[in-house]
Amino acid sequence: MANQTVLDQETFETFRNWRVNRAQYAKEWKERTGGKVMGYFCTYAPEELMYAAGILPVRILGSHEVQDVTEPHIFAMFCPFCRDCLAQGLKGRFDYLDGIMIAQSCLHIRQSFTSWQKHIPTDYSYYLPMPHHVQSPRATPFLTKELEVFKQSLEKWLGKGIDDQAIDDAIAVYNRNRQLMWKVFELRKGDSPPLTGEEAMEVVLSSQMVDKQDHNAALERLLAQLSKRETTRPTGTRLMILGSEDDDVEFINMVESCGATFVIDDHCTGTRYFWNNVEPDGDPLPRIAERYVKRVPCPTKDWPNRTRVAHVLELAKSYDVQGAIVMQQKFCDPHELDIPALTKALNEAGIKTLFLEFDVTVPIGQFKVRVEAFLEMLQEDELF
Ligand code: SF4
């Protein structure tokens, strides 16, 4: 990490270790709690309900390594992210999972789920029909009913009931995590953000892999230390990153080593994961449903009104963004369709954009040349 600091480096190492050693964490968690671990695809998975059942929900993510195991199962023109996720299952890297589930988002990741269901032995699997038309007034009642069915399915699998108190407790733990994440991200609005984009990515990625109570305790330690952090690292150009899945820490590190800092993002392994809370009062299932229906949308669900563009512009403004890197997983149609509108809106707001297409492996050297040219252009703009 590049920051010169009085911060206890162990605090950030905790988040990094959780991300890197996610399998070990999950196995130890199982031994410690006797609970089950559920792998989920896509951030529309209602984690609160699983957590209330004593389950640890963990996000299935790829490894960014070359692989040749998915070809018989999934079309090569499906996005690299969903092929990389499936490869992890086929290679046995998630052998500690007791179950898998998905809440409907895009067809590509659903294919990863379906192939996993068919070819990788798992005790439990569940497909949740999360509605696409989230702007419909019928979306929340529809999802509430689907959550009831999911709850019954979990109860049958686990052989025990999930009561409202347990769901309320789970909501409180998850909402606490979101509040703490916001506080950390708020600090990035300042002239000298006390954490780099790489550090922020470690924090948010690890939250998708570990028990939120452990994560909350680590976030509280982090916040106490960040307020005292002495940052001597120059912030450089303030950047935003936009896209679908982006967990490429090496890429973020490369960009920030070129004289820039990522101060905010809109992608589903970043802010879209934690941005919206569950309302605190009332019947728990409709409140959970409402949270997932009203959250910052993935482009697959952002119609007929395009709400994401206004959200991205608001983020760019409040985090004082100077340039945006628009990354796209190759062949990802939902995001590709959003990019022209996003780029136009950002450019009209005076924020230049750099488009980069990501594959399973990221050509860091080639990207570096393009990033350096982009940053040079932004720095020249600042002079005039
Ligand atoms: S990157 Fe695009 S195509 Fe791939 S899983 Fe995400 S939304 Fe679907």
CA gap 173, 156 in Å, rounded: 24
Look at the block and give the residue holding tokens 């009062």.
281
**Alpha carbon 86 to chain centroid, angstroms:** 17
CB count within 10 Å of CB 136 equals 13
CA gap 135, 155 in Å, rounded: 30
Dist. CA 142 → ligand 1 center (Å): 24
- What pLDDT sits at residue 230? 80
Half-sphere exposure of 115 (CA within 13 A, CB side): 23
Dist. CA 244 → ligand 1 center (Å): 6
Convert the pLDDT of each residue in 33-71 to its tens digit. 999 999 999 999 999 999 999 999 999 999 999 889 999
CA distances from 295 to 140, 168, 247, 271 (A): 12, 19, 20, 11
CA gap 325, 370 in Å, rounded: 11
Q: Give the closest residue (by CA) to ligand 1 atom 2.
A: 332
Dist. CA 364 → ligand 1 center (Å): 21
- What pLDDT sits at residue 372? 97
- What pLDDT sits at residue 229? 84
* pLDDT in 10s for each residue of the chain, 384 residues: 445 455 567 788 999 999 999 999 999 999 999 999 999 999 999 999 999 999 999 999 999 998 899 999 998 899 999 999 999 999 999 999 999 999 999 999 999 999 999 999 999 999 999 999 999 999 999 999 999 999 999 999 999 999 999 999 999 999 999 999 999 999 999 999 999 999 999 999 999 999 999 999 999 999 999 988 888 899 999 999 999 998 999 999 999 999 999 999 999 999 999 999 999 899 999 999 999 999 999 999 999 999 999 999 999 999 999 999 999 999 999 999 999 999 999 999 999 999 999 998 888 999 999 999 999 999 888 766
Q: Give the closest residue (by CA) to ligand 1 atom 6.
A: 244
- For the purposes of burial, counting CB atoms within 10 Å of the CB of 314, is it exposed (0-12), middle (13-18) or buried (19 or more)? exposed
CA gap 290, 283 in Å, rounded: 11
pTM: 0.95
- What pLDDT sits at residue 7? 59
Q: Give the closest residue (by CA) to ligand 1 atom 4.
A: 79
Dist. CA 46 → ligand 1 center (Å): 19
- Using a 6 Å CB cutoff, which residues line ligand 1? 79, 81-82, 106, 108-109, 244-245, 329, 332, 334-335
What's the topology of domain 34-160? Rossmann fold (3.40.50)
Residues near 373 by beta carbon (within 8 Å), at least 6 away in sequence: none
Convert the pLDDT of each residue in 327-384 to its tens digit. 999 999 999 999 999 999 999 999 999 999 999 888 899 999 999 999 999 988 876 6
The pick from 83, 107, 109 for probing ligand 1's pocket by mutation, whose C-beta has the most ligand atoms within 8 angstroms, reads: 109
